[in-house]
A and B are shown apart, each in its own frame.
Chain A
């Protein structure tokens, strides 16, 4: 008796939930309206079946519940009823399937005039590639990946020389222009998904996949990885910016071609030394940093990491928070090396200095417990905290602990890493959220301190070249 009412009640609740739920498909921003239409058709058909079956079930349970001496009817089979139900069900299935298959036929065949682009997935970041004037993407494979060729392009392939490399998690696309997006992974499975575009496809190492769509609405949309790709899967985010053709073209011009990135520029150490005089005031002549002046240890950092930070300071991506007084100092200093040549010379000079590990300054913290916290950091920063050039993860071992402490604080406050152009900011902000507890933070820093070799020991720092010459 109660169960009949409850079943009926659940049907009503389900309908009300559907009508009043604030959650439904995000407003579409691509040409794949056909997908939404198929969903709607399926929704009406399955909704009708859901209501019909359960209302009938509720009625049957109420009407034929045990009462008095009633006896069940004896009817083993009813051929015509069974046939009718089969036929009606089959019709329903055909009505749902047909528009789906027609739409699928379109989804898998990209138009010939589509803009070509490529999304590259790597644990846990997105980068992109556009063909140059030849309209063709050059060959690429994980086997070609080196610190100087992080995209893994075939150096021998003439088609690839003019390919434009977008070393950023932000992909711009022209409005109302169909895009055939090739998908490539250098490590594990990933998935390129933009909820507003509806389509989604895996990136499979060893092969190339694709999807196509036509952005129909200007704006910024999140790219999500939707194939489990390891512990930081949930941090693998990017952004698609849909904008008018002219703005898109302008944006694309700001990126180097593959050939550009392969040019080796010789640095002038003497010129770099001169430029460093400005820095030495705070960071010290040996670049080992100075706590009193809030200057971190540069001697252990790689050139590409420092180059990226200098650019962030200049472009208001780092140090721009109104309350970040220390960051503001660096904004001014970074602008003094805004010429690529100056920056290159300066960084080459810093690299030429021997790496010196900073001594621990903080007390407390259980290094053993910190080791467990550090497990999550290992993937990118390395088991020894040595940093990984290919992942753009800076060295932590030997860095001043007060500096690391402050940066982790800034990440969790959102003073650092929140800017939409900060390539790894989202990732680090997610990661710092797992160590909000001050005790865990102390443990972590105590552990990182144990990774540093004895102070003044020479450390080898891998130089991986600028990520944006």
Chain B
């Protein structure tokens, strides 16, 4: 029997009949995506509330009885960990990756639907274990999201008993979930693309998610082993990361371990993690910009290569998080150089986004507003990264508010702008309804301007030297009184931004309950996911026949064509050209 590619095989989908089969123990990638998305947004809201609590303490020190140094560190730690792992990674890959991959490459589902389902349930379990630490004796860990030993597992740090153990367990479970999902994404992209969907015809969204998943599959194991090793150190008394120590007056049994080893393992995961979040965001924003500017993405091949190169380089820059860690100082030369090299492909992406808008026909829809906002915030965050990557500049700025401002601009605000652009953009596909534009615009302006009000001044406090992770700044001779009033203003801005997110939540609920049906493909997108027989797509996505792809995903405003977009699944002979019109760029 000759080999039949997965993409050409007849579907063997088992269509569940019961409610539970359809929506709870579902193997449909779209349902799983929504499960991932809702869970991620739920924990994200908890992390948002934690950030408000933390800001209350910084803005108004000593005013709130329920925030002591322990709980402050717990808020900081849980906010960071939830946002990076349980919200951003889960929503971008588990949520959008799951939803979009099969639809955009033209397959009926993930290659391993059962594994996909398990992935979500393990993710949910990891979230439950994580949240359980809030109710454990001593509360969640307050070791900072980087969980550096020895401090993470010693007295003097909140949550040292069960908090840290639950955190490490939760991470380990999350990584299991990620691996099950990740293997699915990679295999599906490589093996299950529909006829005609060559790699260089894939939308950049898929390139971003695909590359990020590969990064994750290589990077998360480093976190897994470090979590397991730290569990051994704290539960079994091993000394992987623990040298001989006198902890709070008590000599410990540990001997011979290396705290810096943990940092290498953590950042070998941690830096690619930045791109695990950024690359899907890069991809999705490229598609949103292209659709709403009615113009092909500028320099598609360069964009693909930039994603791949950034992904590759992201594995050789990790120690730029460790310039002042006490590692061999000669590493500084290497890691500063690789880090600044990564700026080149990243800058190219920014140029190409702006050049996509250039000579376009820009529809200022809500997704487009978020996309333009993203270009601004990402440019700002990317440029401040050039300071921190340059090893000598990192010396004064490391562990100050500058770092906080930088990574929130580049890794907080920017991916969040993309996520909102993506939610507003794909909501009509997912739900059949379009989110309310007026509320969307209010949400955009509040979020965009509010976050800039938080983080622009924070960079300058960092230049001054205001340290991060301080429960209270106290009076230090180099900090003028204005630092404290600025901190107060930043807190107010943070609360306002948090309140604007309620507009979004209300918008989603209102739209789902009362919003009018959206038209099919309201934005006029050319990529495959908008061209399913049913909207929202039914189980199996494509009805009787898989689509065939004839062109790239960016045939917008093709000269001579009557409509301003040509769907990927439209063959050249079916394109409605004006008399004398010419053919598209690539067929």
Contacts and interface: CB of A to CB of B under 8 A. Distances in A.
A207 interface: yes
B392 A34 contact: yes
Interface string B304-339: 000000000000000000001110011011001100
A430 interface: yes
Contacts of B483: 23
A195 B396 contact: yes
Contacts of A148: none
B257 A71 contact: no
B260 interface: yes
A60 B357 contact: yes
Contact of B364 (A45, A66, A234, A378): A66
A252 interface: no
Interface in A408-453: 426, 430, 433-434, 436-437, 440
Interface residues of A, number: 118
Interface stretch (B31-39, B152-160, B512-520): B152-160
A108 B330 contact: yes
A142 B243 contact: yes
Most chain B beta-carbon contacts within 10 A, residue among A7, A50, A74, A222: A74
Nearest to B482: A22
A457 B201 CA distance: 83
Contact of A430 (B148, B246, B472): B472
B559 to A, nearest CB: 5
Contacts of B354: 53, 56-57, 60
Contact of B387 (A42, A65, A90, A391): A42
Contacts of B358: 60, 64
What band does the interface of chain B fall in when counting residues whose beta carbon is under 8 Å from A? Answer: 35 or more
Contact of B457 (A3, A17, A226): A17
A233 B470 contact: yes
A145 B246 contact: yes
Contacts of A73: 295, 359-360, 557
A261 interface: no
A17 B357 CA distance: 28
Given A23-B463, A103-B392, A222 B326 contact: no
B357 A202 contact: no
A355 interface: no
Given A54-B379, A224-B476, A189 B150 contact: yes
A250 interface: no
Given A25-B464, A71-B294, A434-B69, 9 more contacts: A38-B390, A53-B351, A64-B358, A93-B340, A93-B341, A93-B386, A97-B337, A188-B247, A229-B156
3 closest A-B pairs by CB: A206-B243, A195-B465, A73-B359
12 contacts: A39-B396, A53-B354, A72-B293, A72-B359, A74-B557, A74-B585, A77-B300, A82-B299, A187-B154, A193-B399, A222-B477, A230-B156
Interface of B: 61-62, 65, 68-70, 73, 142-144, 148, 150-151, 154-158, 243-249, 251, 255-260, 293-296, 298-302, 324-326, 329-330, 332-333, 336-337, 340-341, 343-344, 347-348, 350-352, 354-355, 357-364, 369, 372-373, 375-376, 379-380, 383-384, 386-387, 390-393, 395-396, 398-400, 449, 452, 456-457, 460-461, 463-465, 467-474, 476-478, 480, 482-483, 486, 554, 556-559, 564, 585-586
Interface of A: 1, 3, 6-7, 10, 13-14, 17-18, 21-26, 32, 34-35, 38-39, 42, 45-46, 49-50, 53-54, 56-57, 60-61, 64-66, 70-78, 81-82, 85-86, 89-90, 93, 96-97, 100-101, 103-105, 107-108, 122-123, 141-143, 145, 152, 183, 186-189, 191, 193, 195-196, 198-207, 209, 220-222, 224, 226-235, 237, 373, 375-376, 378-380, 388-391, 426, 430, 433-434, 436-437, 440
